[in-house]
Structure formats: structure tokens, C-alpha cells
Amino acid sequence: MKAVTRVRERLCMPFSSSSHSQHFQFRNDIRNNLKLKDPISENNNFEEAIDVLCQQKRVKEAVELLHRIDHRPSARAYSTLIAACVRHRALELGRRVHAHTKGSNFVLGVFICNRLLDMYAKCGSLVDAQMLFDEMGHRDLCSWNTMIAGYAKLGRLEQARKLFDEMPRRDNFSWNAAISGYVSHDRPWEALELFRVMQRCERSNSNKFTLSSALAASAAIPCLRLGKEIHGYLMRTELNLDEVVWSALLDLYGKCGSLDEARGIFDQMKSKDVVSWTTMIHRCFEDGRKEEGLSLFRDLMWSGVRPNEYTFAGVLNECADHAAEHLGKEVHGYMMRVGYDPCSFAVSALVHMYSKCGNTRVARRVFNHMPHKDLVSWTSLIVGYAQNGEPEEALHFFELLLQSGTKPDQITFVGVLSACTHAGLVDKGLEYFHSIREKHGLMHSADHYACVIDLLARSGRFKEAENIIDNMPIKPDKFLWASLLGGCRIHGNLELAKRAAKALYDIEPENPATYITLANIYANAGLWTEVAKVRKDMDNRGIVKKPGKSWIEIKRQVHVFLVGDTSHPKTSHIHEFLVELSKKMKEEGYVPDTNFVLHDVEEEQKEQNLVYHSEKLAVAFGIISTPPGTPIKVFKNLRTCVDCHTGIKYISKIVQRKIIVRDSNRFHCFEDGSCSCKDYW
């Protein structure tokens, strides 16, 4: 270490050609302290010193050594230094080496010129590269290819194509650089056009790199026919396919929606890396083939290939979307066993999964153990608390987020406004809404407007809601109008409901929810003629109400119920239990709410229809299938109806159970006769 320090001190000393003794001593230091071999000549000493300094990653000192040599360095010395500058992306040091070649009157050959071109291109200085390229008296194929690849990599495709068209001859690298440049910068049609030109060129043979780029271009369009043509060419030429080509084929069929063919490619792959596994798993999820995707993930866990954070995040998000908490826990357990980066976004996906599954306790525990909490995890927890009927916690964590110095984004404020909506904090919600622009410098999004209209409409402040709608700078979307219509249903505002419904008919005329909600408003007002008109309009348009569906998981088996369902093996037990339960509920003061039953039928028949709603069937089955005191968790694809919401409150008190129902809007936690949403949902 002392020897190296002495050499460094010598390097920093000013050098004069008259100081012969200093120069001599410096050469001895280089030789002795860097342990160089006995020199054949003085030139070899300095070349070896440069080699050693570059190997020790002391590139700056190696370049400074050039200025202590009293003779012209060799091509080898310059080449070594330029290569070191490339490795360390040391542009300024590379420029100094280039300048030294000029100062020493070194005649640059094509090899050194190409090294310099490569250095400038990889360091992002195409201006320097182009100047050198223009000065070169002789250019070889490598010179042209380096420039084309440099321009293509930085997205300057016009310059890359101009050079490509001008070059006297091309090899596979030339074609690959130009084609992959188009693919990398979202110009797939031009990539395929150039690929066809290459195919027509007799002397050009496509290799696996070219074909991978062409497949990627076909996937980006997406165009399955073109991709299949390239796949056919691959088969005919019998190229030795590697992981890159197999992955490109997998990506092609997946993005083109041909999942069975993608699975066929995946199964043929002899060597599957984590990217291939992750791609195939995510394609299954995107195509709605949840079970197949999860089965593949289990295969991955046994394959010996370690999942990465993208794999974990994708599977956890799928568990969140389907409220599959037990599967999410399995993934969490596996992550704990194999180890994972606590700072990765997979941990944020864990917070999101537990929040979406209604387990805010574990979500918070995972969040608390994160060494660096990112905005995604903060937002997931805030939205989770808001959806799970804990608005105070949601707003508390939002304030903690602000105190942490993390800057909220537009999605964070959707969670904050949602918390205010479900807590009935109208003025607080309006304060947060105005702070989005005034305090945080963000633009109001369509979701923010939908939330604030929901906030005002639910509380009956329709004049303020209309004023915001009439003056907002963006066009109201379907979510805003649906929020307004929902508020009109709560307060029976017929005139404004008609306005909201008309707007929704224009935006999405085939959505049955609008017709059903408007019909419910008419039914609640006793306007059965209007209800009949709505139903006739639905029939004429061929619009069918989406059936309500609820499900519950018992002993890792999912049981699904439809309204009036009689297909379940325990149907008779469920119905008997509900009949007995109905009697006890009425004794406790329960009165069936038949206002939202669409059909103008006898009151007794209306009550009968309400008893067998899907969520009540699922709750009843959960109660008779589990020991006393066991919490019940039910999921529903639609918004729970008013009567079921009231009824389950009574059920929770009678059976002394905690009953959680997640509908399309939020979680409802029923306990001892009350709901976490405070009847404000």
C-alpha cells in the first residue's frame, strides 16, 4: 500500500524535461513499486504501468501517465487506455486520450479509430463520434456498424437509417442494429419492413438475433399472422433456437392473445429462465386463467428457478384481485423461506394484497417492517383502510405520509377522498380535494371529481355537486355520473337521477347497472309505470341484469351461490337455517326492505325474494359449516343491496359472529348488529 501511495504522489508531481533525475527516479518507482518485470525497453515499462493501473481501475492515473512519457506511446498503450475508458464510461478521460494522440502526432489507424468510435458511442457522445467518423480516411465495416448501433440505441433512428443506407456493404450486425433500434423505440412496422428487405437480399442470412427482433416487432403491433410467418421460417431453416428466441416466441403468442400456442412454446423450452416463467404466468392471469397461472407458479417453486420480484408482485396482485388471501399467504410464506429484498416492490404488493383481502392488521404489520416505505405501499395501506371501514386510520396514515416527506400522487388522493366519503366527512373531503391543486401542485383527475361528487351526493348536497359538474375543466366520466346516480338513489332525487341516467345511457348504453338503479329509484317512489318502462327498454335493447354472485371459502374449497340458488348440496339445510333465522331477526326488530325489489308483486313474495339473495345464502352456509365464534368472510361481485346489509347486521348480533362481506365497492365488517361502514356506503 505504501508503494502504491508513493507512485500516486509521483504521478501528481509536475514534470520538466530538464529534471532528468526526477524522471529516472519516477521510472524506478513505476518498475519497483508496481512490481513490473525487467523491461526490454523504456516503452515497455510505461505500457506495463498503464496495464497495471487500468487493471486496478485507476484509469485517471493511467491517463495522467501519458503526459509523463517523453516519447510517443504505442498503439497498444492507447488501445488499453481507450478500452478502460469504455469499461468505466469515462468520457472526459477518453477525450484526453484522443487529444493526446493528436498532440503526439500519432497516426490513427482504423483499429484505434474504431476503439474511439466505440468509446464515444457507448458514452453517449455521438457528436464526437460523428466528427471522428467524418475525419477517418479509411472506414471498415466495424466503423459503420458502431455508428449505426450508437444512433439506434439513443433513438436517433433517422441518422442510423441514413448511415445504414449509405454503407458500402452490410453484415448481420448491421441489419440487427437497425431492426432492433426500430423495435426498441416503438416503431415495429419499420422494423418489419427492413426485415423483409433483408429477407430479399440474397447475401443476407437472418440469424437468431434478427429473428428475435422481428418477432418482438410482430408482438408489439400485435400481428399474429406475421409472427407465425417468422416462426415458420425459424422451423424451415432449423436454426439452433436459444432462450432469447424462445422468449420472443412466447411473448409473441402471449401478446397476440393466443395463449394455448404460447403455452405450447413454453412447454417446449428446454431451459426456462425466470423471465420465461414470469411471462407465462402473467399471460395466464391476463387471459383470466387464474388457476393455470397459479399452477404454473407452484411448478416454478419446484423447478429450482428462483422467482424474482416481478413474479411475486404479479401473483400477489392476482391474489388481491380475486380476494384469494390463503394463496397470498402461501406466496408470503414462500418469500420468507427463500428470502427476498425487503426494499423491493414485491413487499408493496404484499401490503396491497392483504389490504384488498380485508386483512389490514397484517397489511400494517408488513408495512411497518419495510425499511424504506415507497408511495405504493403508503397508498395501498391508505386505500385498504378506506375500503375496510377504517377511515380514521386511512387519514391518520395519510398525515404520516406527509410527515415522512413522501410526496403523494393522484392515486393516493383517491384513497383519501374515498375515506372521507365513507366516513361522511364532507367538509374534510372538500378541503383535501382543493388541496390537491392548491397545496400539492397536482392536477385534478376524473377519479378525484368522481370521489368528490360521491361525497356530496351521498350527503344530499346536490347543488354543490351540480356546480362542480357544470364547471369542471374535463368531461365527466361514467364513474362520476354513477356516483351521482347512487346519491340520488339514497335521497330519492328523481330529477337529478334522470340527468345522471341520461348521461350514462350516452356513455355506456349496454350497462344494466344504470337501468337497475333508475328502476329502483322509481320503485322506491312507487312509480311502477316508470319501472315497467325501464324494464321494457332493457328488454328491447337485449340488456340482461348481471346475476348477483357470492362466494365463501371453507376448508380451502370455494362455494359459489347465485340468487335463489338450489344447486348446492346443502341447499335444504341452508334454507331451513334461513327460515329460522328470519323469525329471530323479526323478533329483534328486523323489517324486510322491499323498496328496491323491482317487480310489482305481493309484499310477501318480495320478502321471499330477499331471503334468498346470494350473500345471505353464502353467510348462512358459512355459519352452519364452521364452529361457533368463527369469523365469516363472504365476497360478492355486485354492490350489496340495502336489505341484505340491514339483514346481515341482525344476523351478526343473533349468531354472535364477525361477518365480513366484500362487495364491488368495499368491505363491510358486521359485528354485534353494526357495520364498519356506519351505513354509509
Q: Give domain status of residue 49, yes or no.
A: no
Q: Is the pLDDT of residue 336 over 70?
A: yes
In the chain, pLDDT over 90 holds for what percent of residues? 67
What number is the average pLDDT over the span 334-356? 89
Q: Give domain status of residue 569, yes or no.
A: yes
CA distance 191 to 197: 10
- Global pTM exceeds 0.75: no
Per-residue pLDDT of 227-265, as tens digits, reads: 999 898 888 877 767 788 888 999 999 999 899 999 999
Q: Is the pLDDT of residue 12 over 50?
A: no
CA distance 303 to 266: 14
User: 65 near 51, Cβ under 8 Å?
Assistant: no
Confidence of residue 402 (pLDDT cuts 50, 70, 90): very high
Give residue 639's domain range. Answer: 549-675
Name the residue with higher pLDDT: 641 or 319: 319
Residue listed under C-alpha cell 365513507: 422
pLDDT of 202: 56
Q: Is the pLDDT of residue 34 over 80?
A: no
Name the residue with higher pLDDT: 194 or 603: 194
CB neighbours of residue 585 within 10 Å: 21
Q: Give domain status of residue 175, yes or no.
A: no
Q: Is the pLDDT of residue 211 over 80?
A: yes
Confidence of residue 9 (pLDDT cuts 50, 70, 90): very low
Q: Is the pLDDT of residue 40 over 60?
A: no
Q: Is the pLDDT of residue 3 over 60?
A: no
**CA angle 399-401-404, nearest 5°?**
115
Least reliable range by pLDDT among 23-37, 185-199, 357-371, 562-576? 23-37
| Number of domains making up the chain | 1
Q: Give domain status of residue 238, yes or no.
A: no
Q: Give domain status of residue 410, yes or no.
A: no
Q: Is the pLDDT of residue 596 over 80?
A: no
Q: Is the pLDDT of residue 85 over 90?
A: yes
Please provide the size of the chain in residues. 681
Per the DSSP assignment, residues forming a β-bridge with 553 are 558
φ/ψ region of 138 (left if φ > 0, alpha if ψ in -120 to 50, else beta) reads beta
pLDDT of 390: 87
Q: Give domain status of residue 259, yes or no.
A: no
Per-residue pLDDT of 95-121, as tens digits, reads: 999 999 998 989 899 999 999 999 999
User: 634 near 659, Cβ under 8 Å?
Assistant: yes
Between β-strands 659-662 and 632-636, what pairing exists: parallel, antiparallel or unpaired?
A: parallel
Q: Count of alpha carbons within 13 Å of 463, Cβ hemisphere only?
A: 0
Name the residue with higher pLDDT: 199 or 80: 80
pLDDT of 341: 83
Name the residue with higher pLDDT: 625 or 44: 625
Least reliable range by pLDDT among 61-75, 179-193, 297-311, 447-461? 61-75
Q: Give domain status of residue 508, yes or no.
A: no
Per-residue pLDDT of 481-524, as tens digits, reads: 999 999 999 899 999 999 999 999 999 999 998 998 999 899 88
pLDDT of 610: 64
DSSP letter string, 281-321: HHHHHHTT-HHHHHHHHHHHHHHSPPP-HHHHHHHHHHHHH
What number is the average pLDDT over the span 588-613? 61
Per-residue pLDDT of 531-581, as tens digits, reads: 999 999 999 999 887 788 999 999 888 899 998 778 899 999 999 999 999
Sequence letter at residue 1: M
SS3 83: helix
Confidence of residue 609 (pLDDT cuts 50, 70, 90): low
CB neighbours of residue 573 within 10 Å: 14
Residue listed under C-alpha cell 393455470: 292
Which residues lie below 8 Å from residue 125, measured CB to CB, with a gap of 6+? 91
Q: Give domain status of residue 122, yes or no.
A: no
pLDDT of 595: 58
pLDDT of 463: 96
pLDDT of 203: 59
Q: Is the pLDDT of residue 327 over 80?
A: yes
What number is the average pLDDT over the span 32-36? 47
Q: Is the pLDDT of residue 333 over 90?
A: yes
Q: Is the pLDDT of residue 441 over 80?
A: yes
Mean of pLDDT over the chain? 87
Sequence letter at residue 661: V
Q: Is the pLDDT of residue 37 over 80?
A: no
C-alpha cell read off for 124: 453517449
Q: Counting Cβ atoms within 10 Å, is residue 607 exposed (0-12), middle (13-18) or buried (19+)?
A: middle
Q: Is the pLDDT of residue 424 over 80?
A: yes
